[in-house]
Structure 1
C-alpha cells in the first residue's frame, strides 16, 4: 500500500513540473508601433479631408521654442483637425511660422486665431468703434489671415449690451465682409453666444462652437444645439469642454445613458443630436486650453485622444 501511495505522489510531482514548464505561447494581442513614414502622413491628410467628426481646440501659450513640448503645435495629436490660437496670434517668430507650416503641410491640420468680437479695439488695425468701419476691419482680419498663413479666424462672440457687435446687424455685416475678403476656402468659426448669430450670418460662418463647459448630461448639449439648429446642419456644430479647469479629469462628471458617470469630454464624443437623419452626425468636440493635457503623466492628451477614437474609430 505504501508503494502505491508513493508512486501516486511522484506521478503528481511529475505532472506539476510538466505543467510549470509549459512553453505554449498565450494568444496575446500586440499592437505594432505606428510607422510614421510618408505614406502615413499622406493617409493622415486624406483622413482630414474625409467626412468625419472633427477634433477642435483652443491652444494657448504657443511659443514653438524652448524645452517645453507643450508649447509646440506639432506635439498635439496629429489627428486634431482644427486648432485656434488663443492669446497672441500676431507678430509671429520664425519658429512659430515654421511650426505653423509644419502642422498644416505634414498633418493637414487647420489653424485659425481667436478674436473677441466685442468692439473694434479687439481687431487688427486702429479703427474707430463705429459701424461704418466694419468693411475696413473685416479686410484687416482677412489680411492678417493671409499675412501669417492661417486657415481662417474664430470669433469669440461673448459681447453684451453696449458692445458694437452685440447688435445682430453689425455682426452679420462683419461675417459677410470677412467672408467676401477671405473667399470660400478659409474657415470662419463662431463660439460663445452662438444663438445671437442671424440666419444670414450662418451663411458665411462654417462652424458654431458651443462653450458647453461643465455639461453634465446629454440634454445640456441638446439645448446648445437648439440655439442654432434652425440655421445650420449638425455637421457644423462642435461642443467643447473647459480644460483650463478640468483637464486632469477629462471634464466634469457626465451622466451617459448607457455607461453611467464618465468624463464630460468622453460624453460629448459619444453624444449625437436628437432627431438627426441617418448618416448625419455632430461636427465634433473640442477643448479650451487643450495644451494643458500635455501634462498627463501616462499619455499626453489622453482624453482628447480617447474622444477622437470614439468619434472616428481607427481601422485595425
Structure 2
C-alpha cells in the first residue's frame, strides 16, 4: 500500500469536515501527501454517516494474517462503505476480530457476511430446510451477527424450482424474523434475485444489491431497478460488477451516452435511475471479489476508487 499513498489519495479518497457553525457536511480539498491523523479518521467516519452513494463489495480470502496486504480489510480503500465477507465468515481468529473492529471503529466501515438463502443447511445451526424452522434459523443468524460483531447480513438469494425460499412467503418470513432479531440498527441486504422479494419483504431489508454482471448499457441497469422500484427508493439500489472475471479491465465494455465506451463499473457509477426526484440518487455501486483489484500494478483498487470519485467527487 505504501507505493500508492502519496500518489493517489489526494485524487480518489474523500475527506470531509463538520462545519463549526452548523451540521452541514462538506467535501474539502486534500493536500498531498494525506496525513492519516485523528482528524482524518474523524472526517472519514463522518463522511460514512452522510448522505452519499455507497461503495460496496464482496471480499473473499479474508485472513488478516501474513505479509500479503490483500488479506486484510484495513487495506481496502478508506472510502469503501460496506463490505460483505465472501467465504468463511465464522470461527474468526483473534487477528480477524481485530481487523474487523479496526475498519468498523477507525474507518467507519460496515461489515456483513454473505449466506446463500436457498437452503437453511447453509445457516448457522444447519437446520432442516422446512418452513417451521425459519424463526429459529433467523435467530441463529442474528446470534452470529452479534457474536462476531458484524454490522448485519447479506442474503445471496438465488433460489429456483422447489427451493424453500423460492416461495415468496417464506423469504418474507425470513426477512421479518431477521429484522425482529437484529433490531433496526443492523443491515439486511439481499442480492441475486431481488425481483422475487415482496413489498413486505422490502420493509425489513435495507438494500437491493443487483448482480448486474456484464452490463453493457444504461437500459440494462434501468431494467434491473424497475423490478424493485415499486417497493424501494433509488437510494436503496446498489449495482455491482463481477471482478472475479473483469477486475483487470474494470468490467465489460459499457456504452455510455456521453463518453462512449467505458468500463462497466465506471458506467454504473455514472448512471442514475430515470425520472428520480431532485436530490435523489442510486444507492451506489460495488464489485464481486473486490479484492482481486489489489493486483493492479499501477493503482490498487483503481476502478473502485474511480467509481467512488465519480459518485462522490472530492474537491481538487
TM-score normalised over the length of structure 2 = 0.90
Residues 37-87 of structure 1 show CA distances to partners (whole Å, capped at 9, x for unaligned) of 000000000000000000000000000001111010000001000000000
5+ residue gaps, structure 1, are 1-29
Match of 2:100 in 1: 100
SS at match of 1:129: coil
Query: 1:144-183, aligned counterparts within 5 Å?
Result: 144-183=144-183
Q: Does 1:240 align with 2:270?
A: no
**1:34 corresponds to 2:34:** yes
TM-score (norm 1): 0.90
**What pairs up with 1:32-181 in 2 under 5 angstroms?**
32-181=32-181
CA distance in 2, matches of 1:180, 1:53: 27
- Report deviation, 1:32: 1.7
In structure 1, how many angstroms separate the alpha carbons of the residues matched to 2:315 and 2:98? 31
Q: Aligned pair 1:283/2:287, yes or no?
A: no
Residues 146-175 of structure 1: CA distance to partner in whole angstroms, max 9, x if unpaired?
Answer: 000000000000011111111000000000
Task: Give the drift of 1:302.
Answer: 0.3
CA deviations on 1:15-50 (whole Å, 9 max, x unpaired) are xxxxxxxxxxxxxxx952111100000000000000
SS at match of 2:126: coil
Q: Which residue of 2 aligns with 1:19?
A: none
Distance across 2 between alignment mates of 1:170 and 1:96: 33
Match of 2:24 in 1: none
Alpha-carbon displacement from aligned partner over 1:259-292 (angstroms, at most 9, x marks no partner): 0000000000000000101100000000000000
Give the distance between the partners of 1:126 and 1:221, measured in 2 at CA. Answer: 36
State the alpha-carbon separation in 2 of the partners of residues 31 and 82 from structure 1: 26
Answer 1 or 2: higher relative contact order, Cα 8 Å, separation at least 6. Answer: 2
Name structure 2 gaps, 5 residues minimum: 1-29
Which position in structure 1 is the counterpart of 2:217?
Answer: 217
Partner of 1:251: 251
**Stretches (4+) displaced over 4 A:** none
CA distance in 2, matches of 1:196, 1:183: 23
Q: Note the C-alpha offset of 1:129.
A: 1.1
Paired residues, what number? 287
**Corresponding residue for residue 230 of structure 2:** 230
- SS of residue matched to 1:291: helix
3-state DSSP of counterpart to 2:97: helix
Aligned-partner Cα distance in 2 for 1:77–1:44: 11
1:13 match:
none
Q: Per-residue CA shift, 1:199-236, capped at 9, x if unaligned?
A: 00000000000000000000000000001000000000
Counterpart Cα distance in 2 of 1:198 and 1:36: 44
How many Å separate the matches in 1 of 2:315 and 2:34?
13
The separation in 1 between residues aligned to 2:183 and 2:31, in whole angstroms, is 44
Q: Distance in 2 between matches of 1:140 and 1:31?
A: 47
**Structure 2 residue 288 is the aligned partner of structure 1 residue 292:** no
Q: Distance in 1 between matches of 2:129 and 2:279?
A: 45
Q: Distance in 2 between matches of 1:163 and 1:42?
A: 45
After superposition, what is the alpha-carbon deviation per residue over 1:183-205, rounded to whole angstroms, capped at 9, x for unaligned? 00000000000000000000000
CA RMSD after TM alignment? 0.8
Instruction: Tell me which structure has the larger Cα radius of gyration.
Output: 1
Q: Secondary structure at the match of 1:33?
A: coil
